[in-house]
Amino acid sequence: MIDCDTARTNRLLAALPEPALARWLPHLEEVELPLGRVLREAGEPMAHAVFPTTAIVCLVHLLQDGASTEIAVVGREGLLGMPLFMGGDTTLNRAVVKSAGQGLRLAPDFLMTEFHQHPEVMDLLLRHTQALMAQMSQNAVCNRHHALDQQLCRWLLLWLDRSPSHEFTITQELIANMLGVRREGVTEAAGKLARDGLIELRRGRITVLDRRRLEQRACECYAVVKREYDRLLPSEAR
């Protein structure tokens, strides 16, 4: 059985009241989430709800021509499986692991029972849904109105909040795909941040060196999203 400390590695699980967490522990199962694993295809239901602990999962919208854009990122602050309790069963987005790690999974039937029978669980899951929707809407605004270097700073900070370290194993080409822009633009923006000492670039890796200055260079979108998550999911304060 998963222990409390392991479960609380996920911020959403850490926010559960003690009686609820005690009910959940026998039903949680630790799983490996390797890079590239698709947890949900667009239009298909999920077999389990997944609570990342060290992995990072992206929600990606695919177009008919094969182009894709990241609409949200989920890590140790949340879960994959919102359609399970929102009534739609499926979504238009693919959920794919973009940073390998671990997670905890939960059977849909158990999650649905908890959602409908325990108001405190329903409240928490709906607040998480609101936070995720805030991230999606703010990302859309950012991609439309802000410069690419600001978008990159916002993207790096969102990942930094969900990563167990300051180093990401990711290529600039993948970042470009996630942001829906040309790779050359990401290379130029990342190079500028590296020259200014905010990040370090190595082949297939990015290390954040100065978070404070990265926040200063980002547009307001990162701060807006972070405030919503802190307001709606205050488990870290606990």
pLDDT in tens, 124-159: 999 999 999 999 999 888 888 889 999 999 999 999
pLDDT at 235: 53
Please say whether the beta carbons of 169 and 179 come within 8 A: no
Q: Which helix (H) or strand (E) holds 144?
A: helix 119-145
* Length of the chain counted residue by residue: 238
Residue type, 153: C
pLDDT at 195: 94
pLDDT at 238: 39
Range 75-97 average pLDDT: 88
- Residue 93 DSSP class: -
Please say whether the beta carbons of 10 and 105 come within 8 A: no
Please say whether the beta carbons of 69 and 4 come within 8 A: no
pLDDT in tens, 173-194: 888 877 878 888 888 999 999 9
pLDDT at 183: 84
* pLDDT above 70 as % of the chain: 98
Radius of gyration, CA atoms only, the chain = 18
* SS3 of residue 18 by DSSP: helix
Range 186-209 average pLDDT: 91
**Sheet with 38-40, edge to edge strand ranges:** 38-40, 94-99, 56-62, 68-74
Structural domains of the chain sorted by starting position, each given as residue range(s) with its CATH number in brackets: 4-110 (2.60.120.10), 143-228 (1.10.10.10)
- Residue 9 DSSP class: T
